[in-house]
Amino acid sequence: MTPKRLLYVSHRWLGVAMCLFLAMWCVSGVVMMYVGFPELTQDEYYAGLEPLAADRIAVGPEEPLTMVDSGVNVEQLLLTSSGERPVYLLKAAGAAWQGMHADTGARIRQMPTDAVVASAVHFYKAQHPEYEAQHPEQTAVGEYLEQLHMDQWSVSDGLHPYRPLHRVAIDDGLGTELYLSSLTGQVVRDTRRSERIWNWLGANLHWIYPVQLRKHRSTWENVIIVLALAGLVSVITGAIIGFTRLRLKRRYPDGSRSPYRGMTKYHHVIGLAGLVFLLTFLFSGLMSVGPWGIFDSNSSFAEQRQRYQQPDGLLRSTPAYARPEDIRQLIRENPGFPVKQVAWHWIGGKSHVSLHGSAREVQHLLAAGETESLAQRIEGRAAKLIPGSSILDWQRLDSYNLYYYSRHNSARPLPVLRVKFDDPEATWFHIDPSTGQILSRLTERRRVQRWVYQGLHTYDFNLLISNRPAWDVWMIFLCGFVFVFSVTSVVIAVRYLMRHLIRKHSHQ
């Protein structure tokens, strides 16, 4: 087979295979703009929590810390509620969540199904007080469905520390289902019937996300890589053919710049006009999975965070407000909102707390008698994040920029501290000045990924996403353009296959 023949054959058959994928990705991408993959947002989470029952707190925060060994970094320690009971939740580095009842000190083990349903119903009714008002006589609104490790709506990697999960259906006429962690009793995901239906037309199609494939992450990533590469080869071979057949000066006998007619001519012209977007769309889709580890870091974020939180790998000092009566007093003093969650934060081995009434109602408190301010503690410990490297730049950001921004429904706190290091990976950290928590780490490779993935695939630029519907119009225009191009590919492919089958049948 000659190189020219190979070029045409490759484009034809890859085009036949990829045209439907391109059309599917465009339609599903538009759906995803308005119906994202199911998640429990911070607003939904706090809406489902009751204010902490201070009188029932009989155990201080030192007790749950005994659930992990000395030298293990504690990433999060929370006092919240499960149903009507106060509970401590603890997350150690590299481990699953653990829970302890704050009223008895008993560790949360396998919950009986009736307790799971009761917790789910309590959460739902707290979220929807109007439901109970409309159904005063109805008490049993939950049905236990199953315990599972993973299903279609709980494949997200972020749920791994909560597994296995309980699934409970809520009889609200909307097909609501809640997922609760068997390790903590917390609701960690909610879905509705309409959300699940739209996701079969959105994220599940766009990401090639059936659970049977997605639960094998490396296999799923390889499928995405192969499809993206096949699409790129199809577009590149088409571009070569398209440019070689295009005549800008010496036109064809009929005066046209293209030798094709009808749908094939539309395919030729639209393909060349949208070539840049077609290439960047497929290339950025490939980059979304970080193929072949090209964006992986040579350093451990977990180790850097541990150096920041706990010096020398020691577990921690006595937590702030360690006695049960201290916690009860904090809650009763009423910071201006009902306290639904208390969080402990460690910086350099010293702890402080934050009181949460919602995602926006937060009060931060240092330990009693503490003389060092939180800002001083952050500044003193941030220098220890990367040993052997120095801080190049320290800046407080009061607005979003190209690397730290709020995208659609995922809000990020402001202001934020950005700390740049001179290490080999040119690492940046974003730190919340109100809690001292490290919100994100960006190595040089990750900043490159921000451009070759988010920049080229979802156009997450402040000029667009902060001025919606400008972003919507731009994305729908691009997706519509590629969809029209895909339709021409589908029509050409169907016609070619029909002719091929007819010729094959006539020769038999």
> Looking at residue 493, what is its pLDDT?
83
Cα 91–chain centre separation? 19
Q: What is the mean pLDDT of residues 438-444?
A: 95
What percentage of residues in the chain have a pLDDT greater than 70? 95
DSSP string, 213-240: HHTSHHHHHHHHHHHHHHHHHHHHHHHH
Strand extents, DSSP E, 67-199? 74-82, 85-92, 97-101, 142-148, 165-170, 176-181, 187-191
Q: What is the pLDDT of residues 74-132, one digit of tens each?
A: 889 999 998 889 999 999 888 999 999 999 999 998 888 989 999 999 999 999 887 76
Single pTM value for the model:
0.90
> Looking at residue 313, what is its pLDDT?
54
> Looking at residue 495, what is its pLDDT?
84
Q: Is the confidence at residue 501, as pLDDT, over 80?
A: no
Q: What is the mean pLDDT of the chain?
A: 89
Q: Is the confidence at residue 252, as pLDDT, over 80?
A: yes
The dihedral through the CA atoms of 489, 494, 497, 499 has a sign that is negative
Exposure of 260 by Cβ count < 10 A (0-12 exposed, 13-18 middle, 19+ buried)?
middle
Break the chain into its structural domains and give their ranges: 42-206, 301-442
> Looking at residue 137, what is its pLDDT?
62
How many degrees, rounded to 5, is the angle at CA 412 between CA 410 and CA 414? 155
**Could you tell me the pLDDT band of residue 492, with boundaries at 50, 70 and 90?**
confident
- Nearest one of 319, 315, 321, 313 to 350, comparing CA atoms: 319
> Looking at residue 507, what is its pLDDT?
63
Give the CA distances from residue 54 to residues 57, 125, 470, in Å, rounded to whole numbers and listed in that order: 6, 21, 48
**In b/e form, how buried is each residue of 406-439, taking b as 16+ CB within 10 angstroms?**
eeeeeeebeebbbbbbebebebbbbbbbebbbbe
Q: Is the confidence at residue 456, as pLDDT, over 80?
A: yes
Q: Which residue has the tokens 């191009």?
A: 485
334 vs 92, more confident: 92
Q: What is the pLDDT of residues 339-387, one digit of tens each?
A: 999 999 989 888 899 999 998 888 888 887 777 888 999 998 999 999 9
